Amino acid sequence: MSKPEIKIAGIADVKFGEGVKVVGPSNLYGCEIGDGTFIGPFVEIQKSAVIGKRCKVQSHAFICEMVTIGDDCFIGHGVMFINDTFASGGPAGGRKEFWKATKIGNKVSIGSNATLLPVAVTDGAVIGAGSVVTKDITKPGIYAGNPARFLKELPK
């Protein structure tokens, strides 16, 4: 019987801003976390991901490579970001030429258990819990559903 290769979750090669708080266990590597941001437990943030200033990333969120999140954002519990659209008919694996980026603007709130495919989300959007974002969000407002749809404007 062979022995498995065991890799331990941890924090490696992360560029932290001032006043960042991380609750372990978390798996952060090769990413950038802005000033005053909070990272909850059981979060994974992969290499080259960028999290802005004063964000809150709640427990069990997964932020993959090629994701950029602006300042003052809220990422709810269990939010999943996807960079592989299965464009080749299955998982791209290490073939990053098939991966796509996600860009989240400033002051965006994403409810628990939402899933975001590779999209751009404008400043000030609110994405409801459990939503699946399949297309760019270009207008501030509240979005929800599967696929996520515009529901209403936010009060001014």
Structural domain including 49 reads 11-86+96-152
Q: What tens-digit pLDDT sequence spans the chain (156 residues)?
A: 899 988 787 999 999 999 999 998 999 999 999 999 999 999 999 999 999 999 999 999 999 999 999 999 999 999 999 998 888 888 887 788 889 999 999 999 999 999 999 999 999 999 999 999 999 999 999 999 999 999 999 987
- Residue 91 within any structural domain of the chain: no
pTM over 0.85, yes/no: yes
- In a domain, residue 36? The reply is yes
For the chain, the domain total comes to 1
Per-residue model confidence (pLDDT) at position 47: 96
| CATH code, 125 | 2.160.10.10
* 75 is a domain residue: yes
Q: pLDDT value at position 56?
A: 98
The answer to whether residue 73 sits within a structural domain is: yes
Which pLDDT value is given to residue 9?
Answer: 79
Beta bridge partners of 84: 99
Residue pair 113/131 in contact by the 8 Å Cβ criterion = no
Q: Own/partner pairs for 110-113, CB < 8 Å, 24+ apart?
A: 110/73, 110/74, 110/75, 110/76, 110/79, 111/76, 111/79, 111/144, 112/58, 112/76, 112/77, 112/78, 112/79, 113/76, 113/77, 113/78, 113/79, 113/80
> What pLDDT score does 97 carry?
86
- The pLDDT assigned to 149 comes to 98
